Homo-oligomer: A and B are copies of this chain.
Amino acid sequence: MTEIVTAAMIIIGDEILSGRTKDRNIGHLADVMTAVGIDLKEVRIVPDEEDEIVTAVNALRARYTYVFTTGGIGPTHDDITADSVSRAFGVPCEYDAKAYAMLEANYASRSMEFTDARKRMARMPRGAGHIDNPVSMAPGFHIGNVYVMAGVPSIFQAMLDNVVPTLKTGAKLLSATIECPFGEGVIGGPLAEIQKRHPDTIIGSYPKYLDGTFRTELVVRARSAEALAAARSEVATMVAGIKAIAKPD
């Protein structure tokens, strides 16, 4: 079987923790990872504090195949991701010649001053590779298994599009959803029995509370189509059997 490939995400930004900005990147990364067969196993949102970023990067890069960060790579004083990731890897954070030249030429072509603030966007850990930014030029970077991208959703998505084709992907987790008109209180017992009989699947139950009653979406996940089909049919049969006798939650 194809190997399991795992990932974690680190969102760097006081603005998310304060509620000022509502995150739009977690769901996008989760969708993309699922689509290519990489298991997103953990997400952390940390403040713009170097110690916190270093701790998170080192904890997660040691545990997972890939770590993706968003935020903190702009030109201002609170953009400390490049410094923090450099410290996490124990390498200097310095101007990248290629990024510096590219930004310098870009601003020159627009008759704009290449300010010290803008120069900050050319800083990255020594030895890092670029992640192209087709939206606003200033590149993200990758070092080891850590991929550092922008927090602005349109730029993050464009950078991720450039990163994904370079990743090794795993055995895609197949899934099947069974709509259930009853709440978990009704199907919880039999569903647990089905999970026990199908240890090679992950059976999830997701309640929805609508108009004063619960409904449930039952999702079976497996890496083999056979395992998926076997568990799925048992779940469907169970739900059909209950329809006759149970009252909704």
* Residues on A facing B (Cβ under 8 Å): 14-23, 26-27, 30-34, 39-48, 52, 74-79, 107, 110-112, 115-118, 120-121, 135-136, 152, 154-155, 173, 175, 183-189, 191-192, 195, 202-209, 214, 219, 221, 247, 249
Contacts and interface: CB of A to CB of B under 8 A. Distances in A.
A74 to B, nearest CB: 5
Contacts of A14: 202, 204
Nearest to A154: B209
Given A27-B23, A74-B184, A136-B214, A192 B117 contact: yes
Contacts of A247: 110-112
- Main SS of the interface on chain A? mixed
Nearest to A27: B22
A185 B41 contact: no
Contacts of A187: 76, 117
Among A22, A26, A74, A76, the one with the most B-chain Cβ atoms within 10 Å of its Cβ is: A76
Nearest to A47: B41
A26 B16 contact: yes
Nearest to A29: B19
Nearest to A21: B206
Given A17-B41, A27-B19, A46-B42, A192 B135 contact: no
Nearest to A186: B115
Contacts of A27: 19, 22-23
29 contacts: A14-B202, A15-B206, A16-B26, A16-B43, A17-B41, A18-B34, A19-B33, A19-B34, A22-B26, A22-B27, A74-B205, A75-B185, A76-B188, A76-B191, A77-B203, A78-B204, A111-B247, A115-B185, A115-B186, A116-B189, A117-B184, A117-B188, A117-B189, A118-B185, A135-B209, A136-B249, A152-B207, A152-B209, A154-B209
